[in-house]
């Protein structure tokens, strides 16, 4: 990957974290324990899970030790989720400019360059931001650059890996006139109608 493309991964992670913070700040207090669009998870559970993904992004950039499993919602619940995410965003803003995006970091695929290790958790931030809006019956479109980043990443993952247990469900039908974001989310097993 060229230096510009590697830098774009950091930009997409920062952008996705900002969108996530905006989504979390809009959740009314009475909605936290309502079901999310992800089966078996409340909105609070979803925010807990994606806070783990945000923590993983920051930890990778800072060069800390990371865990090699999906983030469990209970691991990351806190009294002020938006505040926790803002703290993570500040740490990311501080660490990213000096980060060596080619430095080796652990990932589920073994040791890889940082820019590659960041791709999946950064996409997780974006995709779950859509889930938060969808859980509250609100429309949300990923910005073009972030949508393209997520789409490109998804296209690189073999289908059996993409749809393994704990991954994404089977692709769903896409309604006529669906937006590009809705098309991606339906491909990832989300209901978009």
Domains of the chain, start order: 3-188 (1.20.120.450)
Q: What is the pLDDT of residue 37?
A: 95
Run means of pLDDT, 10 residues per run, the chain, 193 residues: 72 97 97 95 94 94 80 73 96 95 88 93 96 97 97 89 82 93 95 89
Nearest by Cα to 76 from 57, 92, 95, 61: 57
Burial code (b: 16+ CB inside 10 Å, e: under 16) for 145-158 equals: ebbebbbebeeeee
Q: How far lies 24's CA from each of 28, 36, 64, 156, in Å?
A: 9, 13, 26, 29
Residues 80-94 have pLDDT tens digits of 999 999 999 999 999
Write phi, then psi, for 42 (nearest 5 degrees).
-80, 170
């Amino acid at each position: 990957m060229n230096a510009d493309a590697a830098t774009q991964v950091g930009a997409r992670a920062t952008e996705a974290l900002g969108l996530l913070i905006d989504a979390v700040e809009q959740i009314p207090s009475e909605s936290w324990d309502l079901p999310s669009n992800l089966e078996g998870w409340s909105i609070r559970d979803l925010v807990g899970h994606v806070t783990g993904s945000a923590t993983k992004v920051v930890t990778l950039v800072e060069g800390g030790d990371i865990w090699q499993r999906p983030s469990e919602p209970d691991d990351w619940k806190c009294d002020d989720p938006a505040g926790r995410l803002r703290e993570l965003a500040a740490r990311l803003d501080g660490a990213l400019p000096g980060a060596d995006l080619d430095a080796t970091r652990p990932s589920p695929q073994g040791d890889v360059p940082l820019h590659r290790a960041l791709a999946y958790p950064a996409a997780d931030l974006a995709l779950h931001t859509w889930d938060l809006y969808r859980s509250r019956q609100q429309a949300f479109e990923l910005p073009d650059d972030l949508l393209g980043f997520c789409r490109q990443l998804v296209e690189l993952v073999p289908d059996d890996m993409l749809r393994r247990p704990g991954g994404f469900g089977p692709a769903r039908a896409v309604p006529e006139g669906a937006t590009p974001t809705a098309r991606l989310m339906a491909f990832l097993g989300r209901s978009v109608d």
